[in-house]
Chains A and B, each alone.
Chain A
Amino acid sequence: GENVEQHPSTLSVQEGDSAVIKCTYSDSASNYFPWYKQELGKGPQLIIDIRSNVGEKKDQRIAVTLNKTAKHFSLHITETQPEDSAVYFCAAMSSSGYSTLTFGKGTMLLVSP
């Protein structure tokens, strides 16, 4: 089955800096890669996603890149703000079988004012 590795597990940045979280996946049949943000006491919320026919996608301060050959994808947050502090999860979904999401273990991002 699919295996998703996520790094780093924790990330501390100063407000205004950029933050990058990286994930690798194992199943070459995976074709959908969402990113979720989870604030304390809440369920994960979808913030951006990318499909395998696209190399990059951007939405305001966040962007995701995908390298299918290397089987890795990354989340980029620019001009970080304290409200970006949360746990971020990457996931991959295979096009084979039942198409379930496999998640990375998460990255706790702390943005200091």
Chain B
Amino acid sequence: DVKVTQSSRYLVKRTGEKVFLECVQDMDHENMFWYRQDPGLGLRLIYFSYDVKMKEKGDIPEGYSVSREKKERFSLILESASTNQTSMYLCASRGTGKRPEAFFGQGTRLTVV
């Protein structure tokens, strides 16, 4: 089975802190994604990466950056956390070509106080 693992289930951070959310997948997928989930808004794409060291902005990239130094790992960085970044963050990975299925991690619930 595909496994996408997020490093933390719950995080509490202070306003202004630099926050790192880590995601690892074990299926050698080229594509990795970070989504944010908020009630009534569904899943919104923050950033994605289609290859090592490659990144593309999604729909809501402001306030975030990402890093992909290895194929299996994709990190989301909040440069200076703010209270409006309190949310559930979901990582996903997907292969290419004939297997378009995307698989999600269990999510990280981040609270910024």
Name the prevailing secondary structure of the B interface residues.
strand
Known: A32-B100, A99-B100. A105 touches B105 (CB 8 A): no
Counting residue pairs across A and B whose Cβ atoms lie within 8 Å, the total is 50
Contact count band on A: 20 to 34
With a CB–CB cut-off of 8 A, which chain A residues contact B106? 42-43
The reply on B76 being an interface residue by CB < 8 A is: no
The reply on A64 being an interface residue by CB < 8 A is: no
**A3–chain B nearest beta-carbon distance, Å:** 11
- Map CB proximity to B onto A81-113 as digits: 1 under 8 Å, 0 otherwise: 000000001000100001111111110000000
Number of interface residues of B (CB under 8 A): 23
The reply on B69 being an interface residue by CB < 8 A is: no
* B101 with A34: CB separation less than 8 A: yes
Q: List 10 A-B contacts (CB under 8 A).
A: A34-B101, A43-B105, A43-B106, A44-B90, A46-B102, A89-B43, A100-B33, A102-B45, A103-B42, A105-B40
* Chain B contact residues, CB within 8 Å of chain A: 4, 33, 35, 40-45, 48, 50, 56, 58-59, 90, 100-107
